[in-house]
Amino acid sequence: MMQKRKILYLSPQGSAWDQLAVLASAWNVRTATPDSLPCLEEYQVGLVELADGRWHLSELEQILSRGAIEWIALMPAEDLGKPELAQLVLRYCVDFHTLPVHWERLNAVIGHAFGMSALREAFGDHGPPVQHRMVGRSRAMHALMAAIGKIANVEAPVLIQGESGTGKELAAQAIHDNSRRSGGPFVAVNCGALPASLIQSELFGYERGAFTGAQRRKIGRIEAANGGTIFLDEIGDLDLELQANLLRFLQEGVIERLGGSGSVPVDVRVIAATHVNLELAVAEGRFRADLYYRLNVLRLDMPPLRARAGDVAVLADYFFERYAKDKAPGVRGFSREAYAAMEAHTWPGNVRELINRVRRAMVMCEGRLIRPADLGLRDSQDAPLSLVEVRENAERMAVEAALQACRYNVSKAASQLGTSRVTLYRLMRKYALDAPPAGSVIVRTGSSTLTR
């Protein structure tokens, strides 16, 4: 006889549920209250009886955030409309089931939870390979990961555009890891961090005696990526001379080391990234049009964090667990006020800023739960926005709406707003609207465009 799988049933006041015996006929059920918790690591799936007014929500948050249990909420349908309970379900539960119980559906939900637990165990903390530590459940992230999967299957150059801190290098790494080149090297170069005098030798290498101090041959980053992928971050910072050299490599698949007399064939896929609007840079003569079209065969636009609805709390929890060894003793997680403050913040520094604030709060927090002040954020119950902030928010929303309506045709959007193109470009830079907003992941192949 097959042994029943174990389920933890969590109730605020013990097993008062009159149908618990029916559940126990199909599963090995252990009931628990906040005061009588077993070792959570022994359970894969848990049911939590979630009803308004029966829980101290901060206490429940601490329980649900521990361990790796796939929680299923049991709750009256009317409680789904209550924001605090709905947020708990979204943040900590893999699914929910509304009362009264429909046994066939509930058993299917429990089976799904066991399946999710098995997937997490098989793939580890980072999820399936295509995610490659790209955490998020928003529609924008689902669309992004689907696009990465498609792009990984071909060999064409890729241009990744997005604001600083959105995870462009993680996307490039995910493309490489899911491509046929995954067994080869992945070489990342930050073009904006290298002095102009060194970029050419770093990218293309040099021969012995090419210049004073060149005592031996050095292989460049592009050649070192042979058989794999070269990731050129902040490609918009390259000067025009180096852009010409890179264009020749993309066209002919060969490089020339400094001081060398012959061409060296290299088999490398190029992924470039930038936070700069390259179309604007081309129009202003700061970036070669021919290089732009060579790089922009496949394009991936990274969504900013402020437009990834629901992902801020998921990411905060993820980074809290990832850097748990650095936290102050006694810190258990985030307060509801902290979650609200994080959701309200616009995150100009995107995920990089979130990591910074979470890690600092974990170290400096003196209570059990991180508060908005620990994150350096304003409590949502604090004073309302200033008149300047209200005006800027309205201006940003108007510009973004016009750009979306005109499919990012700047001339049409400027005409719709009743302003000049120069003014609109200034506003786009001010509000970091150089790329299409999140939720729209754009993949371009040749002359065709797919928008998600």
Q: Domain segments of the chain: what residues?
A: 6-123, 139-301, 306-375, 385-431
Q: Domain 6-123 - what CATH class?
A: alpha beta
Q: Which amino acid is at 150?
A: K
Per-residue pLDDT averaged across 274-294, rounded?
91
**Nearest CA to 306 among 185, 125, 163, 196?**
163
Render pLDDT for 145-197 as a digit per residue (tens, 0 to 9). Answer: 888 989 998 999 999 999 888 999 999 999 998 888 888 899 988 887 777 66
For residue 97, what are the contacts with CB-CB under 8 A and spacing of at least 6?
Answer: 72, 73, 74, 75, 105, 106, 109
CATH architecture group of domain 385-431: Orthogonal Bundle (1.10)
- Residue 384: predicted pLDDT: 54
Q: Residues, the chain, total? A: 452
Q: Which amino acid is at 395?
A: E
Backbone phi, psi, residue 230, to 5°: -105, 130
For domain 306-375, is the CATH number 1.10.8.60?
Answer: yes
Backbone phi, psi, residue 358, to 5°: -65, -45
Right CATH number for 139-301 from 1.10.3720.10, 3.40.50.970, 3.40.50.300, 3.40.50.150? 3.40.50.300
C-beta neighbour count of 330 within 10 angstroms: 10
On the question of a common fold for 139-301 and 385-431, the answer reads: no
217 SS3 class:
coil
Per-residue pLDDT averaged across 348-356, rounded?
91
Average pLDDT of the chain? 81
Q: What span, in angstroms and rounded, lies between the C-alpha atoms of 450 and 409? A: 16
- Residue 133: predicted pLDDT: 62
Render pLDDT for 90-142 as a digit per residue (tens, 0 to 9). Answer: 778 888 888 888 888 888 888 888 888 777 666 544 443 434 467 887 888 88
- Residue 359: predicted pLDDT: 92
Q: Are 277 and 427 in contact (CB under 8 A)?
A: no
Q: Which residues pair with 447 in a beta bridge?
A: none
**What pTM, to 2 d.p., does this model score?**
0.58
Report whether pLDDT(265) > 70. yes
Q: What span, in angstroms and rounded, lies between the C-alpha atoms of 245 and 41? A: 56
